[in-house]
Amino acid sequence: MKTKLYVLYGGKSVEHEVSLKTAVTVLLSIDESRFEVYPVYITRDGLWCTPGRLAKEGLTVERLIARPSYRDTASSIGEILSGVMALPGPKVVMPLLHGSNGEDGTVQGLMELLNVPYVGNGVLASALALDKAMSKEILAQAGIRQTDYRVCRFDEWSSDGMAVVRDVEARIGYPCYVKPASLGSSIGISRCTNRGELRAGIQEAFAYDKKLVFEREVAGREIQVAVIGNERPLASLPGEFIHDRAFFDYESKYMDKRLTMSIPAELSAGLTERIRELAVRAYRAHGCEGLARVDFFLDGEGELFLNEINALPGFTNFSMYPVMWERTDGTSYAALIEQLIGHAVARHEDKQTIRYSR
């Protein structure tokens, strides 16, 4: 019997479009001789629905979008759970939901309640990795070096915004970055070189979150590492994007056709191994399982700073994560998906040995 694979995509998130691009690539790559695929679309309003079984031929983002039968979230989720995900036989869920309401542990919690295996990180690791402020606390406790940073909540800003600005200038300085704490794809992030840009960046970031992170800029290279696995995670060879922008923003990541990947990144053998070791340490410190991408800054003096850990990295066939694995050990995109499904099933089976009664 084929395993039923439920692919969740879209979502109530500003990274909705990124999720759709990821879903198209994944759906085109799944081995249909092994998996019976059921796409589940989550609208921008958080309603769950399905476009039905989709043929690979001519599959586009537009064909992934479906119209929900209900106008309230609870009823739409109930329809999918009782009508689609309740089908008999072995099953696994693959959440391809970038950002809030999907990458942050919310959907993962639902899958735990349903007691079904799902690809990627669990509730805690997902929540920690998406929340940059909490992630930095974890990294600090693990003794992993980071750039100088400061966290600000909306109530602090609304009470005395000028005090926040002066404190950032004193502790962080310029250039600095202001970021929504819980978001990805560089959305809502501003690079600030003076007070006016800082105030504007704060206003922009608070449109996406009620908690912000300020960071000192590290001038140099951005190095990325792909990590996969559960109890014994493995790190890929490091890679980097070659670009000439001061700030690698959303448009740079997804629309700049001049971007080129350098995999493996041109680093000494010793530095390569140190980066891979630190990536695994950060992965374990967050309690990650399944996959994550760990990003570093390497300054002009050779000093290394961990930037962030991404629990659901970009996953199209042109994204850094799958390409790093292909160039590390020859793992194809389709084989990588099957590996991740295998890790999901293994973790789920391990959890079935836990006792819930005395």
Point out the residues that are catalytic.
Answer: 15, 185, 319
Residues pairing with 220 in the sheet? 299
Task: Determine whether the annotation assigns residue 308 to a binding site.
Answer: yes
Instruction: Quickly tell me which residue has 């100088």 as its tokens.
Output: 148
Task: Determine whether the annotation assigns residue 230 to a binding site.
Answer: no
Round to whole Å and give the CA distance between 336 and 13: 26
**E-state strands within 96-251:** 149-153, 176-180, 190-192, 211-216, 220-229, 234-235, 240-242
Backbone angles phi, psi at 94, to 5 degrees: -120, 95
Distance of CA 341 to the CA centre of its chain: 17
Cβ–Cβ < 8 Å for 218, 207: no
Instruction: Quickly tell me which residue has 């479906």 as its tokens.
Output: 66
Handedness of CA 173, 300, 134, 261 (dihedral sign): positive
CA distances (Å), 106 to each of 33, 156, 181, 280, 343, in order? 31, 27, 16, 25, 20
Cβ–Cβ < 8 Å for 99, 129: no
Task: Determine whether the annotation assigns residue 310 to a binding site.
Answer: yes
Cβ–Cβ < 8 Å for 14, 321: no
CA distances (Å), 122 to each of 218, 275, 321, 342, in order? 31, 24, 19, 15
User: Which residues sit in the known binding site?
Assistant: 295, 308, 310
Annotated binding-site positions for Mg(2+):
295, 308, 310
